[in-house]
Amino acid sequence: MKHSLLKLLPFVLSAIFVSAQEPGTRVPSVTFAPTGAVQAKPGVTTNVQLDFRVGSDFHINSNKPKSELLIPTALKLTATAPVSVAALKYPAGEDVSFPFAPGEKLSVYSGDFSITAAVKVPARAPAGNYPIAGELHFQACDRSACYPPRSIPVKFIVSVNK
Amino acid sequence: MKRNGLVFIALCAAIILMVASGRFLSRAGRSRVTTLVGDVRGKAAPDFELTSLDGRRVKLSDYRGKAILLNFWATWCSPCKVEMPWLVDFQKKYGSDGLVVLGVAMDDTDAPKISEFAHEMGVNYPILLGTDKVSEDYGNVQFLPTSFYIDRDGKFVGKGVGVITRKEFEDNIQKALASRTAGNSPALDAAATSKPISPQPAAQ
């Protein structure tokens, strides 16, 4: 009995929170999945996969939207010297048309997507932890409206071992 | 058994607490995104003074006696782009009846780029450069596009968030035009000094 009630608790509470929200009050969420310390060797460039998730029912422009007016998703990272970010590789967007413009396709990310950062460690880099931090800039829409552009923080640590 | 009873009571207490906090959070949310939930109908539209693309200072109260379609948009908003040809048509179709379409661009982009975009879209109505203040005064406009329909007396007759149908636009325009012009437009005089829209508990 006790266990049954406790098992039901999360569902009951979730239902209450959902019912407290009214249509149009949802704010698009884009989240960064924390990355554990990235192991790297001096003199080697390591590809780091950074995982993001766009909340359900929302999409954001890809890094290469089909119009220059649309705001591209862009990651800016600053590394701690002597480590550096040599390149960023964005996934291709998914071409999707939406009810508001059935004849037009937009290049978007939705659900889960990953950006790969090529982290370069010089041969003479001392062993240690080197934080890399920055932000993902994006602009989200749902199927009928758009939200202003915003940014979320992105941070991970590169652990250099000899 | 006694323990089960206590668990049950604790669960009930937790539910009551969560319902109360959920309602509180919902109300708190409204104070930040009131545009999305508040019913503005019957309220006086807050006056504003914004700069148009051609550099003029434009007040809402400049249009006293006119029906206003106030459309918040941005160049980066694809759904907004869909509505613009309709707004052009509405200005042509209802302009002689007293409708004025006003676009409020919420871009951070500089005016020449907005102007170029508006020109490409064939916009035939004034585009004003939006500010945080006008957004806040109109209930913290977050969703774009958002349109407000203001009657000849300066009161809201409707609001649309996100892309709506052409028919919904026209129904609201008809409502705005249907209002009689008050002699001295006291409501618009009031609008000129009215306070920003406050959150409303009732959904539209």
* Interface membership of A147 toward B (CB under 8 Å): yes
B155 backbone φψ class: left, alpha, beta (φ>0; ψ -120 to 50): beta
Sheet architecture: strand order including A84-89: A30-32, A45-54, A112-120, A84-89
Within 8 A of B82 by CB-CB distance, chain A residues are: 100-101
- The pLDDT value given to residue B108: 87
The shares of helix, strand and coil residues in chain B, as percent rounded to the nearest 5, are 45, 20, 35
Closest residue by Cα to residue A152 from A21, A27, A41, A67:
A27
Cβ of A69: how many Cβ atoms within 10 Å?
19
Verify cis geometry, omega within 30 degrees of 0, for the bond prior to A91: no
- The pLDDT value given to residue B14: 54
- The pLDDT value given to residue B190: 40
A95 backbone φψ class: left, alpha, beta (φ>0; ψ -120 to 50): beta
Q: How far apart are CA A35 and CA A27, in angstroms?
A: 25
- The pLDDT value given to residue B3: 60
- The pLDDT value given to residue A27: 78
pLDDT in tens, A104-119: 899 999 999 999 999 9
ipTM for the complex shown: 0.78
Nearest to A144 among B29, B36, B163 (CB): B163
Within 8 A of A13 by CB-CB distance, chain B residues are: 14-15, 18
Residues 6+ apart with CB under 8 A from B172: B69, B147, B149, B157, B158, B160
* Interface membership of A11 toward B (CB under 8 Å): no
Is residue A49 over pLDDT 90? yes
Name the E strands within B41-152. 49-52, 57-59, 67-73, 99-105, 127-129, 146-150
Amino acid at A3: H
Residue B45 and residue B60 in contact, taking contact as beta carbons nearer than 8 Å: yes
Percent of chain A scoring above 70 in pLDDT: 84
Is A12 close to B26, i.e. CB distance below 8 A? Answer: no
The nearest CA of chain B is from the CA of A26 a distance in Å of 9
Is A27 close to B106, i.e. CB distance below 8 A? Answer: no
* Interface membership of A144 toward B (CB under 8 Å): yes
Is residue A16 over pLDDT 50? no
The nearest CA of chain A is from the CA of B7 a distance in Å of 6
Amino acid at B48: F
Amino acid at B114: I
Residue A147 and residue A140 in contact, taking contact as beta carbons nearer than 8 Å: yes
pLDDT in tens, A54-68: 999 999 999 999 999
Residue A65 and residue A107 in contact, taking contact as beta carbons nearer than 8 Å: yes
The shares of helix, strand and coil residues in chain A, as percent rounded to the nearest 5, are 10, 50, 40
Verify cis geometry, omega within 30 degrees of 0, for the bond prior to B199: no
pLDDT in tens, A87-105: 999 999 999 998 888 888 9
- The pLDDT value given to residue B70: 98
User: Measuring CA to CA, how many Å separate A50 from each of A26, A157, A159, B52, B85?
Assistant: 25, 12, 16, 43, 41
Least confident span in A142-146, A155-159, B177-181, B196-200: B196-200
Is A5 close to B23, i.e. CB distance below 8 A? Answer: no
User: Measuring CA to CA, how many Å separate A158 from each of A121, A131, A134, A136?
Assistant: 9, 6, 14, 19
- The pLDDT value given to residue B58: 97
Nearest-by-CA chain B residue for A21? B26
Residues of chain B with pLDDT under 70: 1-37, 180-204
- The pLDDT value given to residue A153: 97
